[in-house]
A = this chain, B = another copy of it.
Amino acid sequence: MTPERLRALLDEVARGKATPQKAYDIIKDIPFEDIGIANLDHHRVLRTSQPEVIYGKSKTIDELTRIAKAIIAKMNNLLITRIDKTKARVLLKLSKKLRYNERGEIIVGVFEPVTKAGHVAVVSAGTSDRYVVEEAAETLAILGNNCSVVVDVGVAGIHRLFARIDAIRKANVVIVVAGMEGALASVIGGLVSVPVIAVPTSVGYGSNFGGLSALLGMLNSCSPNVTVVNIDNGFAAAYSASIINRRIAATGDQQ
């Protein structure tokens, strides 16, 4: 509920075009749908190419089914993240338009076409990080971004990174996905002049402590153009990258 909309609504009430009760109800009841176990937040679903997003982990298959059904009924695009194979199998039956990316543990449902704009690069340190890369790439696609994926260019063999630096430098935003020490974010941060969004992954040996080593490394990056999201959170990195990239692309496109 923006201030502009509130003011407009008050205007209508003042001009007798709306009753106070109705205004109250609108203010209170607008932008979500209560399906008992969840409040579907349609506020976040913008007009074009924006999906509804469900966080799949910790929800029962019954809850997931009820939520997904309510969204599919509206024919909105749909992302279900962190969804394991067993649950995915059940959910895929809800619609033929749903597709499961097993490596990224994500279900994608495109019910209306997505127009892509701009360019985001997703760069990963190792093959083991691919589950996060897939989550990010699927999210970027359905949110309407062109996306380059550059994998396995970790700093232990930095020449591999330099060979791909052309592709990376074309992007408006770079997402860096890395586990272990997470050094790739700092190195790329120093090589590009655009924002870098770093995703620490839980990949690694003993003292990585479930991704803590990469997380702390990225937070302490000496490259000041690096910001960080939660461990393994390819979705949030892609979401933030998308709003930056599309905004730049949009203003650029208007020329």
Q: Which residues of A come within 8 Å of B, CB atoms?
A: 1-3, 6-7, 10-11, 13-14, 16, 19-21, 23-24, 27-32, 37-39, 41, 43-44, 46, 53, 55, 57-60, 63, 67, 103, 125-131, 151-160, 162-163, 165-166, 169, 172, 179-183, 185-187, 189-191, 193-195, 197, 200, 202-233, 235-237, 239-240, 243-244, 247-248, 251-252, 254-255
The answer to whether B13 and A155 touch across the interface, beta carbons within 8 angstroms, is: no
Q: Provided the pairs A3-B165, A159-B32, A228-B228 are in contact, do residues A206 and B233 lie with their beta carbons within 8 angstroms?
A: yes
Closest to A4 in B: B166
Inter-chain contact A215/B224, CB cutoff 8 Å: no
Residues from chain B with Cβ under 8 Å of A23 in the complex = 10
Known contacts A180-B220, A217-B213: does B193 contact A157 (CB below 8 Å)?
no
* Residues in chain B near residue A3, CB distance under 8 A: 24, 28, 165-166
On chain B, the residues within 8 Å of A218 by CB distance are 181
| Distance, CA A98 to CA B191, complexed state (A) | 30
10 contacts between A and B (CB under 8 A): A2-B165, A3-B24, A31-B157, A37-B152, A39-B151, A53-B224, A155-B222, A156-B189, A213-B216, A217-B217
Contacts A182-B217, A248-B251 known; list 5 others, CB within 8 Å.
A194-B247, A206-B231, A206-B232, A254-B255, A255-B255
Measured CB to CB, the nearest residue on chain B to A157 is B41
Residues of B within 8 A of A14 (CB): 13-14, 16, 19-20
CB contacts (< 8 Å) of A126 on chain B: these are: 38, 55, 222
Once A127-B63, A158-B191, A187-B187 are accepted as A-B contacts, the answer to whether A228 and B231 lie under 8 Å apart by CB is: no
Question: Which chain B positions have C-beta within 8 A of A39?
Answer: 151-153, 157, 160
CB pair A230 B236 closer than 8 Å: no
The answer on a CB contact under 8 Å between A243 and B205 is no
